[in-house]
Structure formats: structure tokens, C-alpha cells
Amino acid sequence: AGGGRLLDRIRKWYYNAAGFNKLGLMRDDTLHEDDDVKEALKRLPEHLYNERVFRIKRALDLSLKHQILPRDQWVKYEEDHRYLEPYLKEVIRERREREAWNKK
């Protein structure tokens, strides 16, 4: 149990050290947009997509101004959820299935 707590503390430290949360971004906002990610983004519900666009635009504006959000507005490790992950898993599964079918 002690090792799990230590690992969790290291994850939280690394999450804060990465810095994207200080700009109001979530982990999934920082994914490299390859073909799979682009397709998953197309499948996002409109409200999730709009929230993502807002976070990215705000982060770009802050970055240009060399600023970060006030500490109370940072995305906390516990609040960051992988909103894109279910859609991305589905896209990858479909692509692999298509590739396997094309090999036959």
C-alpha cells in the first residue's frame, strides 16, 4: 500500500511538473494529432469538442502573453479525466480490424 501512495505522489508531481495544467489544459488536450486522434476528435460530442477548443485557445493566449492561470484555476490531477480515450480506443480497434481484414 505504501508503494502505491508513493507512485501516486510521483504521478501527481510529474503531472504538475509538465505544466500544461497551469494553462488550463487536460492530458488529452496535449495528444499529438495523428490520424487516429483526428478521427476520435470528429466523434466527440459537440459540448466536449467545444470545451477542448476553449481550453486550447485560452492556453495559446496565455502562452503568447507568457502567463499562467491563477493557481485556483489549474486543472488538478484528480479532476483531469481522459475524455478522448473511449473514442480513441474505438478508432484504434476499428483501424486494427480493418487492417486485419485487408491482410486476408
Domain ranges of the chain: 2-103
Regarding predicted confidence, which is higher, 2 or 1? 2
Please state which CATH number belongs to domain 2-103.
1.10.1090.10
Residues 81 and 20: their CA atoms lie apart, in Å, by: 14
Collapse the DSSP code of 90 into the 3-class scheme (helix H, G, I; strand E, B; otherwise coil) and give the result: helix
- Average pLDDT, rounded, for the chain: 95
Residues recorded for the chain: 104
Rounded (10°) angle between helices 85-103 and 35-43: 120
**64-81, pLDDT tens digit by residue?**
999 999 999 999 999 999
